[in-house]
Amino acid sequence: MFLGAGAILHQTHEQSLENMGGLIHCMPKLAAIFLIGCLSISGLPPFNGFVSEWLIFQTALQTGALESGVIRSLIPTASAVLALTSALAAACFVKVYGAFLGLPRSRHVATGHEPAHLGMLAGPAWLAGLCVLLGVFPTPIIEGLNVVTGQLVGDTLPGAAALGWLWLTPVAPEVASYSAPLVLLGIFLTGWVCYQLLYRRAGLEVRRAEPWDCGFGGLNARMQYTSTAFSMPFRRIFEPVFDAQETIEEQKEGPSGFQTTRLQYQLRVSDRAWPYLYAPVARAVTWLSRRVGRLQTGNIRTYIAYSFFTLLILLWGIS
């Protein structure tokens, strides 16, 4: 995701998601790689993010076997926080991928193109391939990692490959199992069946035409969703978690003020924890840095004195 964002910044020189759009048309390869990253980090099957979260939730279901009551009470809470984090991650990356959809909203994005350097695509591409590989074939990889965990903690998953490489069974086959290859096969079969039913059996033909514009005479970027608009349903759900300030300024003219001549929308979202948790720490670090910065006078004689007195203190401490 970081490498893909760097490639987009390099090709478009644009940093605001609200000014992006339509990147899937001028950067189709990068768009496909970026989509794999978004699906993986959102924890959707059959990618690696889903496997890791599924294993964590399977661990949470085994809390009854623990002896410590404190840990038994904390693990369900941590699992609930993980589920909330997954939902917020999905909201975040729905907004991020909105930069690839619709029409360009700035000149730099409209003139963008696929990266010319092979390395700018090869780097994120092989990482995206690993996301697919780790998600589709988790059992052989976990079996290989069991050697490392066995050496570090002295224990491994009891039966990760009890049913073979096709199934992942972290606890036991009768408790829970997951087969990513079968999930991937089911996705392909579902797509193929839908294609056959909708087009081949019904005799329908694909016809390309301009999108319906409701009679306005041609779509433009101002009529389409921005990245913020794509994430609006998620933002409405989790609005109590954040401090969202949404303002709409409307200017009307004409008889009885029926004609809208100007409409301005502004959204500011801030973290409620920032002023109480992070801001005091940031101010303390800044204050301490300024005090320590006074030691850097730029005078060579002062630095020699620092070294001399440090040497004296060390000699005194050793002796």
- Give me the pLDDT at residue 202, please: 64
Does residue 131 lie within any of the structural domains? Answer: yes
Separation CA 27–CA 14 (nearest Å): 15
The reply to whether 65 and 180 lie within a common domain is: yes
Does residue 130 lie within any of the structural domains? Answer: yes
Does residue 143 lie within any of the structural domains? Answer: yes
Six token digits for residue 272: 């409620």
The reply to whether 259 and 314 lie within a common domain is: no
The reply to whether 75 and 31 lie within a common domain is: yes
The reply to whether 255 and 165 lie within a common domain is: no
Domain count, the chain: 3
The reply to whether 54 and 173 lie within a common domain is: yes
Separation CA 186–CA 191 (nearest Å): 9
- Give me the pLDDT at residue 29, please: 92
Does residue 226 lie within any of the structural domains? Answer: no
Does residue 169 lie within any of the structural domains? Answer: yes
- Give me the pLDDT at residue 31, please: 92
The reply to whether 193 and 308 lie within a common domain is: no
- The single-letter code of the amino acid at 26 is C
The reply to whether 289 and 251 lie within a common domain is: no
For residue range 166-182, list pLDDT tens digits in order. Answer: 788 877 777 778 888 88
The reply to whether 196 and 249 lie within a common domain is: no
C-beta neighbour count of 252 within 10 angstroms: 12
Of 182, 200, 218, which residue is a domain's last? 200
Does residue 139 lie within any of the structural domains? Answer: yes
**Nearest alpha-carbon partner for 110 in 30, 34, 32, 13:** 13
- Give me the pLDDT at residue 46, please: 87
Does residue 233 lie within any of the structural domains? Answer: no
Mean pLDDT by 10 residues, the chain (319 residues): 90 86 89 92 88 84 75 81 82 85 84 84 92 88 82 75 77 77 90 80 71 75 78 76 80 76 79 86 92 80 85 84
- Give me the pLDDT at residue 203, please: 66
For residue range 245-287, list pLDDT tens digits in order. Answer: 778 888 888 777 777 778 887 878 787 888 888 899 999 999 9
The reply to whether 261 and 283 lie within a common domain is: no
The pTM of this model reads 0.71
The reply to whether 38 and 141 lie within a common domain is: yes
Of 200, 220, 237, which residue is a domain's last? 200
Of 179, 200, 221, which residue is a domain's last? 200
Q: Is the dihedral of CA 245, 250, 256, 259 positive or negative?
A: negative
Separation CA 214–CA 207 (nearest Å): 19
- Give me the pLDDT at residue 107, please: 82
C-beta neighbour count of 212 within 10 angstroms: 8
- The single-letter code of the amino acid at 92 is C
DSSP three-state, residue 231: coil
The reply to whether 153 and 45 lie within a common domain is: yes
- Give me the pLDDT at residue 35, please: 93
Instruction: Judge contact between 24 and 110, C-beta under 8 A.
Output: no
The reply to whether 78 and 148 lie within a common domain is: yes
Domain ranges, residue 55: 2-200
Q: Secondary structure of the chain: what % helix, strand, coil (to 5)?
A: 60, 10, 30
- Give me the pLDDT at residue 201, please: 66
Does residue 313 lie within any of the structural domains? Answer: yes
- The single-letter code of the amino acid at 126 is W
**Nearest alpha-carbon partner for 18 in 230, 249, 280:** 230
